[in-house]
Amino acid sequence: MRDVARRAGVSHQTVSRVINGEDTVAPATRDRVRRAIRELEYVPSAIARSLSSDRTHTLGMVTTDISDHFFAEAVVGAEAEARKHGLFLIIGTVEEAASDDEGAYLRLMLEQRIDGLVIARPRRRVAGDALLRRLTERVPVVEIASDVAVPSVEVVDVDNRQGGLDATNLLIERGHRAIATVTGPLDWPSAQARLEGYRESLRRAKLAETASLIASGKDWGLESGEHGATRLLDGGKRFTAVFAQSDLLALGAIACLRRRGLRVPEDVSVVGYDDIPVAAFVDPPLTTVRQPMREVGALAVRLIVERTGRDRAAAHRHLLRAPVIERKSVAPPAVTALRA
Amino acid sequence: MRDVARRAGVSHQTVSRVINGEDTVAPATRDRVRRAIRELEYVPSAIARSLSSDRTHTLGMVTTDISDHFFAEAVVGAEAEARKHGLFLIIGTVEEAASDDEGAYLRLMLEQRIDGLVIARPRRRVAGDALLRRLTERVPVVEIASDVAVPSVEVVDVDNRQGGLDATNLLIERGHRAIATVTGPLDWPSAQARLEGYRESLRRAKLAETASLIASGKDWGLESGEHGATRLLDGGKRFTAVFAQSDLLALGAIACLRRRGLRVPEDVSVVGYDDIPVAAFVDPPLTTVRQPMREVGALAVRLIVERTGRDRAAAHRHLLRAPVIERKSVAPPAVTALRA
DNA sequence: TCCTCGAATGTGACCGGTAACATACGCCTG
DNA sequence: CAGGCGTATGTTACCGGTCACATTCGAGGA
């Protein structure tokens, strides 16, 4: 910068003014400085700027696993929104288990003086809340898909309860009365919320809830879907539809149903959750609930941007609605099934 | 930091020494400083450190789309490797089309004084090579899955030719003689390379190459797979196996084959490419070529780390081998089909 | 006993910007 | 024509560390 100043025959401060587009610079001077900048291929240092201005224009985002489509989408949304505001996004993947790892990483991000932090960890964090609280004192923090109770931390999430409700409602609207569900692991708040939605839907339709029509997976994967469906079928109680809390659970369930000689959707309708990329391409194309993860990520960033310098006391919970995507895996119940 | 120094009754330099774990500090002093740090909840500023030391411990990574599983994996690998070296990863998604967008973004990263840059853009870049060259003068650059010709830019890629070769070889080993292929868009270098591998395999097995057994998709998606298979079937020439250059192409092809009354793998074997997450769970589980994208990302970062301060003249092309994952979509050709 | 040397610590400049204030100059106004 | 004011620019301190070098002090050797 001093070089540029010297070359243009002005002071460094004037160079700074030109760079920041201040209007108190005479056009002739401005052009001279611009030329010097170009000739020297000068690139201003954001670090130095950060040091004085105490703003790094950098946000941190910590997730459990970006290779999971769910988080990847959130990151994409966050990144796009961040860029819109001229911010960078530093990402960090922290294994579910390694909570001291997380601590160390957050500390490093703090050292980097990030301007805000997005945390995307769907499961309740046992420890680290103290750290999180200390963090919020220094920098705005927004959590994604979490049920943290730390005050002054805003939370952005998909409305899982509503999603479960809508999914079940769809089945009821199509004429189903015996509706089973395969949940995710119930220690996940999202699984609980979807189950709640399912129950609420049954209640509203004045349908009785049957314990043997509820199966819980030990994870969100395909095998759990198969096991779940197996348990449902062996439970004795007949059903014409299944609400699976994830697409993979749904796919697993479908595989199991088929093995038992049941057709989808003719004999059993299936609704999934997530709208993973292949959902539209499996057989049959899966009716599912789409989680607007990009918007979730974008909203998280927006909240941080808006909160910069704002009152930190106000912490809210922002729920985005997950729309039901209708495809081919849901049909009215077969007459025979109804009769049974 | 001055506060800490004052509180501990030492100079700022001594505090700096304690933080950096230098051994020229008396134990008593060290403890005193440590306590002061804790009491003041002092977190050293990485920015200030960067300003003096001219190293930011931050890498940039630019991709076309992280929501694509392919890139997501690369990012995960890169991030993990970066962390191992105490580096941060700033990510940026740049749309395929927006090349001035890319320029602007790279400039910003340059302002951030990143210590290295990973670019993951599979398609040939038309413009921007000048920019890229200027970039390499300032910072080590590694490209992923690219065919850039810029000197001093190292390239990490999956060996697509070898992958295509191995996939086709597998089919030949299983007894197939009439092997069709559905390629990705041929303006992608990777599609070209896989096609080359396919051809090489046929040549080695002394099988004639048939033009009507090669169909090219306009993209890598499912519909292209369906169209491709349709064209192959309508081409008149019989075949007992298909090598699809992506899993989605494979899935599309399978859907089409089924509609025409052909079973997979009994009537037609199918090999995909990518090993996307659902590949193991579709019906039949897809035999495919797995791209070790995590390793690719990790290697890219490692190259940058190793090259820091090293001779920049040496630019290499690093090819990682993509293993074939055998599942159920390949079987020996049916006798009837052979006879046909 | 004096000098030398190493260990422990302090001092001041500097990295590359920004912020606040100072200065120089031309113009308008009373 | 002097005072005041706005515009264009320069000066200096400062952000929070690191680096190179100076300083202090006690121990050991000549």
Distance A228 CA to C14 C1' (A): 67
Chain B positions touching A108 (Cβ under 8 A) are: 46, 88
Chain C nucleotides close to protein (CB under 7 A) are 7-12, 14-20
Residue A79 to residue B91, Cβ atoms within 8 A: yes
Q: Which nucleotide is nearest to A54 (CA to C1')?
A: D15
Nearest by CB to A88, which of B83, B90, B222? B90
Tokens, residue B125: 């870049």
For the residues of A210-264, what is the DSSP string, one character each? -GGGEEE-SSSSHHHHHHHHHHHHHTS---SEEEESSHHHHHHHHHHHHHTT--T
| pLDDT mean across residues, chain A | 90
Which among A64, A111, A248 is the top mutation candidate for probing chain B, defined by the most B β-carbons within 10 Å of its own β-carbon? A111
Distance CA B125, CA A311 (A): 46
Nearest by CB to B113, which of A47, A93, A255? A47
**Helix (H, G, I), strand (E, B), or coil: what is residue A145?**
coil
Q: What is the pLDDT of residues B224-274, one digit of tens each?
A: 999 999 999 999 899 999 999 999 999 999 999 999 999 999 999 999 999
Mean pLDDT of A273-301: 92
Residue B319 sits at the chain A interface (C-beta within 8 Å):
no
For the residues of B75-144, what is the DSSP string, one character each? HHHHHHHHHHTT-EEEEEE--SS-HHHHHHHHHHHHHTT-SEEEEE--SPPSS-HHHHHHHHHHS-EEEE
| Whether A52 CB is under 7 Å from strand C | yes
Residue A79 to residue B88, Cβ atoms within 8 A: no
- The winner for highest mean pLDDT among A61-65, A243-247, A316-320, B8-12 is A243-247
Answer yes or no: is pLDDT of B215 > 60.
yes
Distance CA A139, CA A113 (A): 9
| pLDDT mean across residues, chain B | 90
Nearest one of B280, B289, B279 to B325, comparing CA atoms: B289
Window B:129-158, CB contacts with A under 8 Å: 134, 138
Chain A positions touching B44 (Cβ under 8 A) are: 111
Residue A112 to residue B46, Cβ atoms within 8 A: yes
Residue A257 sits at the chain B interface (C-beta within 8 Å):
no
Q: Cα separations (Å) of A175 from A45, A138, A170, A199, A229?
A: 64, 54, 9, 17, 21
* Helical ranges in chain A per DSSP H: 2-8, 12-19, 27-40, 46-53, 69-84, 99-111, 129-138, 160-173, 189-204, 222-234, 247-259, 293-307, 335-339
Q: What is the pLDDT of residues A97-129, one digit of tens each?
A: 666 777 888 889 999 999 999 999 876 555 556
| Whether B47 CB is under 7 Å from strand C | no
Residue A72 to residue B72, Cβ atoms within 8 A: yes
Cβ atoms within 10 A of the Cβ of A196, count?
15
Tokens, residue B14: 């001594």
Higher pLDDT, B204 or A130: B204
Give the model's confidence band at A133: pLDDT under 50 very low, under 70 low, under 90 confident, else very high.
confident
